[in-house]
A and B are shown apart, each in its own frame.
Chain A
Amino acid sequence: MTRRDLLRLGFLAVITAPFAALFRKREETGTGYFWQIDPDKCVQCGKCETECILAQSAVKCVHQYASCGYCLFCSGYYQDKRIEFNTAGENMRCPTDAIIRTYVEDPYFEYKIDEGKCIGCGKCVKGCLAFGNGSLFLQVRRDLCRNCNECRIAKACPADAFVRVPADHPYIYRKPPEVKS
């Protein structure tokens, strides 16, 4: 065995050393690999729309129907200055008309996000949080996100709201509210 061979074995051992980390106990929350937004930390700054390396951001608004109040005046759909229940441009919060409002039963309306139009600006989220239940929130879509090792939006996020999630829990939901007795 030459010195080279010995050295070679030594370095092979060195490379395999990190594998010892595999035997460490896996944490419960599990540091995953895929990027996701923690809705409670998000401050709806609007950077999700502009910072993604893709031309159309992989962040989209998501509606948790279980938490929605189905209100006539949805503060995420309508903006607060003008309260007329039509689809005129000046009444809407969403800049790209990505929320579809449909009548369900009296006095409830369903609000659905049109994913093709949503640009991830977060304006509806802000409105929903201010005067509503907070059932609208931004999430990174798994089918669009390219899973960069260093997410550009994560780096730019002022609230440090990006976390890495494991493959089996790719979305972080808001807990549905308890109904008052």
Chain B
Amino acid sequence: MIPRLSLLFAAQARFPAPEFESYTLPKMSLEELASDSVLWRVLLLAVFLAAGTWSFYKLRSRKALLAYSLAGLAVFGFIFASCPCPVGMFQNIAEGIANGSYIQPGVLLLFALPLAVALFAGRVFCGGACPLGAIQELLHWKSVFVPRPLDRILRLIPALLLLIFTVCAIFGIGFPLCYLEPYLPVFLLDFATPFAILSAVFLLVGLFVSRPFCRYVCPYGVLLRFFSYFSLLKPRITSQECVNCRLCEQGCPNGAILPPEGAGSTSEHRSGFRRISMLTALIPFALFAGGLFGYFCAPVLSSFHRDVRLVRELDAGIRSEAVEAFESTTTTREELRTRAVKLQNGILLASTAAGVLFGAVVMAELIAEARRRKEEEIYTIDPSLCFCCGRCYAACPLERKEKHHEK
């Protein structure tokens, strides 16, 4: 193994290396890296996704899905310490595309595999292959039902976070999702840092609100939601057998099971139509407002970047450690300043674009919710919101009857 050499700081050593008579230099105890574990992760992920799809659509068993969650938690959570995980990979890919650098195939596969499976089988990944989802799944106690309107609005936060984190990743501000991952201290079983408090908060909230991270924070969930909307296999409630007992609606703590609407009165239709036309008319304003919002967010975002912070400190005359470290390098202040200004302009543009996109997402959500549901008489499952946990299977009496008959 050829060690990678870096330049010496001064021309020559002060004390020349001695010539020994009887002593041999000991070896530096630097072990080589055994294997690149990212590809192993991908392999296991594929196996788990297959197992999850099988358990959810064929076995239709809550117990199997629980085992799936537990296994996922053990393997991806504790053994692999959840880093790198598919949830954060979108940042790596955004950065790789922006920098023009090489993206490892393992990273690409980690990102794409759950999405490809979502396209065909829904959010099986969230069911148990994702350690974050698994831990929330297993540590959920008494469900506090979040009212549907609030739930829909809170579900816009992941979209906002996705856009912000992508901008951060592209411009080298960092990977905020990985920095702030709430469950990492639990997986590492190391609560040295103050981020453990974040862990505790999320776990406690998760005891009562089902899957708080998955529903209201996870940016990857936005992509999964999008892809699983078009999935081939979906959890379906068949109209012939459903008796509207409403037990599944309660059984699903994630709000994925939507009640039927009924026929609806004329005035309801009219007000609904008015609502949709108003919302459609608001679209250009929403896009503009979103762009404006993004524009004003840009300085805030850029202040998180190391170079911009450095220039600000230099201008203000603050002698922080970073400033002193910078002054011992060969980069001139002009170079730093040019870089910072270029970054700022880039972030401004990207932030505005992201703002426009966010405006579009908000309007899409509002309009989608304003539409009448297709099924008027029976319950439906929204495949983009279903986390494939299988609680509905355990709750539905007809499902249990079916199983009983099979036995």
Contacts and interface: CB of A to CB of B under 8 A. Distances in A.
Interface string B1-41: 11111111100111111101111011011111101101000
A149 B15 contact: no
A64 B100 CA distance: 35
B17 A69 contact: yes
Contacts of A104: 20, 23
B119 A12 contact: yes
B97 interface: yes
A131 B64 CA distance: 64
Contacts of B20: 104-105, 108
A169 B102 contact: no
Contact of A27 (B9, B101, B184): B101
B329 A41 contact: yes
A81 interface: no
Contacts of B227: 11, 15
A71 B20 CA distance: 13
Given A54-B192, A63-B28, A174 B17 contact: no
B192 A150 contact: no
B262 interface: no
B318 interface: no
B37 to A, nearest CB: 8
A92 to B, nearest CB: 20
What interface size band does chain B fall in?
A: 35 or more
Nearest to B16: A179
A121 to B, nearest CB: 15
Nearest to A179: B16
A131 B25 contact: no
A55 B185 CA distance: 10
B223 to A, nearest CB: 9
Contact of A149 (B22, B83, B192): B83
Given A53-B195, A173-B6, A45 B1 contact: no
Interface in B299-315: 306
B97 A18 contact: yes
A134 interface: yes
B321 A152 contact: no
Contacts of A134: 8-9, 13
Interface in A63-120: 63-71, 104-105, 108, 110, 112, 115
Nearest to B25: A65
Contact of A69 (B14, B23, B185): B14
Contacts of A24: 100, 102
Interface stretch (B130-138, B171-179, B342-350): B171-179
B178 A150 contact: yes
B92 interface: yes
A171 B190 contact: no
B325 A69 contact: no
Contacts of B13: 67, 69, 133-134, 177-179
A12 B188 CA distance: 34
Given A11-B227, A18-B93, A105-B23, A27 B102 contact: yes
Interface in B82-139: 83-85, 88, 91-93, 96-97, 100-105, 107-108, 111-112, 115-116, 119-120
A173 B321 contact: no
B3 A66 contact: no
B4 A171 contact: yes
A69 B18 contact: yes
A172 B14 contact: no
Contact of A66 (B25, B31, B328): B25
Contacts of B1: 168-169
B112 A53 contact: no
Given A11-B230, A146-B81, A171-B30, A165 B4 contact: yes
A169 B4 contact: yes
A53 B84 CA distance: 15
Given A43-B324, A115-B29, A176-B17, A152 B190 contact: no
B320 interface: yes
A168 B33 contact: yes
Contact of A169 (B3, B85, B191, B193): B3
**Ordered nearest first, which 7 A-B pairs have the shortest CB separation?**
A69-B15, A177-B13, A159-B325, A150-B178, A158-B322, A150-B175, A149-B178
Interface of B: 1-9, 12-18, 20-23, 25-26, 28-33, 35-36, 38, 81, 83-85, 88, 91-93, 96-97, 100-105, 107-108, 111-112, 115-116, 119-120, 174-176, 178-179, 184-185, 188, 190-193, 195, 227, 230, 232, 306, 320-322, 324-326, 328-329
17 contacts: A18-B97, A18-B108, A41-B325, A43-B324, A53-B185, A55-B192, A62-B28, A108-B20, A142-B33, A146-B83, A149-B178, A167-B33, A167-B36, A174-B8, A177-B13, A177-B17, A178-B13
